[in-house]
Amino acid sequence: MELIKVTEAKYFEGYKIAFKFSDGRKKTIDLENELWGEVFEPLKDISVFKRFTLNPFTIQWENGADFAPEFLYHYGETKKEKVS
In a domain, residue 58? The reply is yes
Instruction: Report the CATH number that the domain containing residue 47 is assigned in CATH.
Output: 3.30.2020.10
Please provide residue 60's backbone torsions phi and psi, each rounded to the nearest 5 degrees.
Answer: -150, 160
Report if residue 48 sits inside a domain.
yes
pLDDT score of 76: 84
Over residues 20-66, the pLDDT tens digits come to 999 999 999 999 999 999 999 999 999 999 999 999 999 999 999 99
Locate all alpha helices (DSSP H) within 1-84, ordered by sequence.
46-49, 69-74
Residue 84 lies in a domain: no
Q: Note whether residue 10 is domain-resident.
A: yes
Q: Is 0.85 surpassed by the pTM of this model?
A: yes
Residue 77's pLDDT band, with cuts at 50, 70 and 90, is confident
The residues, any chain, with a CB within 8 Å of residue 12's CB and separated by 6 or more, are: 18, 28
Number of domains in the chain: 1
**What pLDDT shows up at residue 8?**
98
pLDDT at 35: 97
What are the b/e assignments for 51-66, b being 16+ CB within 10 Å?
ebeeeebbbebeeebb
Residue 62 lies in a domain: yes
Does any domain span residue 81? no
Q: Answer whether residue 68 is part of any domain.
A: yes
Q: Which alpha helices (DSSP H) does 4-51 contain, by range?
A: 46-49
Structural domain boundaries, residue 43: 6-74
